[in-house]
Amino acid sequence: MSSSSSPSFAGDKKHWWLSNRKTIERYLKDARSLLATQNPSDVSAALHHLDLALAVSPNHETALELKARSLLFLGRFRDVADMLQDYIPSFKCNSECSSSSSVSATSSDGLSQQLSKDKVKLLSFSSDDHSGTVSSFSSSSSCIDGGDQSFKCFSVSDLKKRFLVGGLSKNSEMEGQWRYDVLGQACSHLGLMEDALVLLQTAKRLATADFRRRSNSFSDDIIAKSPSPTLSDSSGDVARLLAHVKLLLRRRAAALAAHDAGLHAESVRHFTKLLEGSNGSRAGPVPSTFIADCYVHRARACRAAGRGLAESIADCNRALALDPSSIPALSTRADLFESGRCVPDCLGDLEHLKHLYASFLRDRRLPGRPAWARPATTGHWPRYSDVPGALRAVSEKISELRGLSCCGVDHHALLGLRKGCSRAELERAHVLLTLRHRPEKAAGFVDRVGFADERDVDLVRDQAKMSARMLYRLLQKARAGVLGSIEAEAALAQRVSDRAEMELEEPVVGLGPPEYRTGNVDTVEAVAAAVKVFQGVFCRDMAVVESVLSQAGFNRPIPVKYEALRC
């Protein structure tokens, strides 16, 4: 009975498999016909057919590729990264470090062997050549030895070594090289520039090797036919994107090197060239996360170069308009407000920073960000082990600032002026700052930024304008404060000069209090000597006139009152 039932069971199973395959082929055919139009509405409809095909066979390679390329065509870069997050090099390295930390933390329990097996599963490698290489690499990993389980900044060469040698990339012949091409483009739009560089270079290397392998199998008179792409994925666009990513990373590296060397003005110049020259790129606008990170670095370089606080605060405002949950931008702006004695603004930023630290401590990620979105290469992402200490420090700083009495704002530091500056210097600095930070032109930088998520660009512009208006009012108050101090100093100097002139003029006239006349003894003696000289000359002249009149024959007596002429 079993022998008679087995053929029918095998036939039913074969029929079930053939029906599923035909269903998938029908879905793929409909999806390809819709994708060929390259119309966004048709591509969105094709995604529905691809989801139905993947519901039948979740690991179908062609359906996965078409879905990834469709999401990339529609600009849904986050969905591409969520779909292929296991192939993001930085996320893979973070997974290794977290798994190794969990192994070391629970080594005293009975689960250490199972956790070590899970750790080994993260490194999928072949069993022949790379086993020794991978084991030596994993044992010498920087996140395992030394007891430091925190995430560290990594270089591109080290990342490439992890990605290619360490087994992070899987078998390209089995899973296809399209993953690195599509994911590299998505990472470049998401601001993961180091990951995009590694993925695009890997895709280029695999494409070259595949073309070389296929060309060797054909004769000279046969042209190798490559599968026609459904959506536009020309190699020229990928090459331009790769060159664009290299240029951005090279410029940022030069700016950071100048800042580390103490050449802060040179660092500001490099960052300005990177930020203001990004709109002329042929590969598209620069992603918002990368631009926000550059604004934070330029704010710190401006502060280190001795420029006014207004320049650095404006850069932090732009960074927070692009990324409201940026911990580096919030901490930098809070320090700037504290140095300028703007206590209410500093308290607002510290409260927001405290909320972000609490969210990161609870969820191990910032609110609104996926698990793979970790800007590890910037060096400012907090390590999970350091978050409790940072949260405690922020709470103490908030308590300290609330306990302070009301203190005046340092208007000179906001405008970048020295104490005792002239009115001309004040007007020149104020005109330059108001022209540069007008609220009307504060949102002009948004046009040079590429947004990878579904953020409302108008909302970003409104946030930038609101921050610019607050800074503009702060600049007006600073100008009024500095102008008031200049006028007060001028009035005080005028009073001092008037009093000095009065002290010199009062003894000559002979008026005024007695202490002024007795105090200037030398002046009184000089005046008395001058009066005596004038009296002697007058008496001699009168004697000469009298002798002349007597010699001329005028013998008539002249009534003269000698008492009046007596000296």
- DSSP letters spanning 7-74: HHHHHHHHHHHHHHHHHHHHHHHHHHHHHTTT-HHHHHHHHHHHHHHHHH-TT-HHHHHHHHHHHHHT
Lowest model confidence (mean pLDDT) among 52-66, 101-115, 222-236:
101-115
Average pLDDT of 114-142?
37
For the cut 50, the answer to whether the pLDDT of residue 59 exceeds it is: yes
pLDDT more than 70, % of the chain: 63
Residue 211: per-residue pLDDT: 76
What is the residue-averaged pLDDT of the chain?
A: 73
Chain centroid offset of residue 75 CA: 24
**What is the pLDDT, as a whole number, of residue 340?**
87
> Domain limits at 316?
295-367+378-486
Predicted pLDDT at 552: 52
Most confident residue range from 39-53, 235-249, 354-368, 484-498: 39-53
Which pLDDT belongs to residue 15?
54
Q: Which of 61-65, 236-240, 360-364 has the highest mean pLDDT?
A: 61-65
Least confident residue range of 27-31, 180-184, 303-307, 363-367: 363-367
pLDDT at residue 136, as a whole number: 36
Question: Do 441 and 354 lie in a common domain?
Answer: yes
Is 149 part of a structural domain of the chain? Answer: no
In a shared domain, residues 435 and 361: yes
pLDDT value at position 332? 93
* Cβ 411 vs Cβ 426: under 8 Å: no
Mean pLDDT across 457-477: 90
pLDDT over threshold 90, residue 206: no
Return d(Cα 281, Cα 473) in angstroms, integer.
35
Q: Residue 2: pLDDT band by 50, 70, 90 thresholds? A: very low
Q: Is residue 53 part of a domain?
A: yes
Is residue 541 assigned to a domain? yes
Q: Are 471 and 313 in contact (CB under 8 A)?
A: yes
Evaluate if residue 506 carries a pLDDT over 80. no
Q: Regarding predicted confidence, which is higher, 342 or 521?
A: 342
Pick the range with the lowest mean pLDDT from 2-6, 34-38, 291-295. 2-6
Q: Is residue 340 part of a domain?
A: yes
pLDDT at 370 over 70: yes
Q: Read out DSSP for 298-356?
A: HHHHHHHTT--HHHHHHHHHHHHHH-TT-HHHHHHHHHHHHHTT-HHHHHHHHHHHHHH
Using the 3D structure, point to which of 73, 90, 118 is the last residue of a domain.
73
278 compared with 77, residue with greater pLDDT: 77
**Do 447 and 311 sit in the same domain of this protein?**
yes
Query: Is residue 141 one of the residues assigned to a domain?
Result: no
The rounded radius of gyration (Å) of the Cα atoms in the chain is: 42
My answer on whether 402 and 339 are in the same domain is yes
Whether residues 323 and 411 share a domain: the answer is yes
**Structural domain includes residue 299:** yes
Among 5-19, 132-146, 243-257, 335-349, the minimum mean pLDDT is found in: 132-146
- What number is the average pLDDT over the span 214-218? 70
Are residues 532 and 395 both part of a single domain? no
Strand-pair partners of 450? 287
Tell which wins on pLDDT, 538 or 68.
68
Q: How many domains does the chain have?
A: 3
| pLDDT for residue 253 | 93
Indicate the pLDDT class of residue 146, thresholds 50, 70 and 90.
Answer: very low
Does the residue 96 lie in any domain? no
For the residues 14-43, what does the mean pLDDT come to?
82
Q: Give the pLDDT confidence score for residue 485 in this predicted structure.
A: 85
Residue ending a domain, among 486, 505, 531, is 486
Query: CB-based burial of residue 402 (10 Å sphere; 0-12 exposed, 13-18 middle, 19+ buried)?
Result: exposed
Q: Which of 21, 50, 73 is the last residue of a domain?
A: 73
Domain assignment of residue 191, yes or no:
no
433 in the same domain as 310: yes
Same domain, yes or no: 404 and 534: no
What would the mean pLDDT of 80-101 be, rounded to a whole number? 71
Q: pLDDT tens for residues 305-347?
A: 988 899 999 999 999 999 888 899 999 999 999 988 888 889 9
Claim to verify: residue 423 and residue 548 sit in the same structural domain: no
528 and 437 in a single domain? The answer is: no
Q: Give yes or no: residues 7 and 66 share one domain.
A: yes
In this prediction, residue 454 carries a pLDDT of 65
Where is average pLDDT lowest: 60-64, 105-109, 157-161? Answer: 105-109
Global pTM value: 0.70
Predicted confidence band at 207 (pLDDT cuts at 50, 70, 90)?
confident
Confidence band, pLDDT 50/70/90 cuts, at residue 118: very low
**For residue 349, is pLDDT > 80?**
yes
Q: Do 550 and 425 sit in the same domain of this protein?
A: no
| Reduced DSSP (H G I as helix, E B as strand, rest coil) percent helix, strand, coil of the chain, to 5 | 75, 0, 25
**pLDDT for residue 261 is more than 60:** yes
Residue 191 has pLDDT above 60, yes or no: yes
| Distance in angstroms (rounded) separating the CA atoms of residues 168 and 198 | 12
Query: What pLDDT, on the 0 to 100 scale, is given for residue 279?
Result: 52
State the pLDDT confidence band at 471, using cuts at 50, 70 and 90.
very high
CA angle in degrees (0–180, nearest 5) for 168-173-178:
70
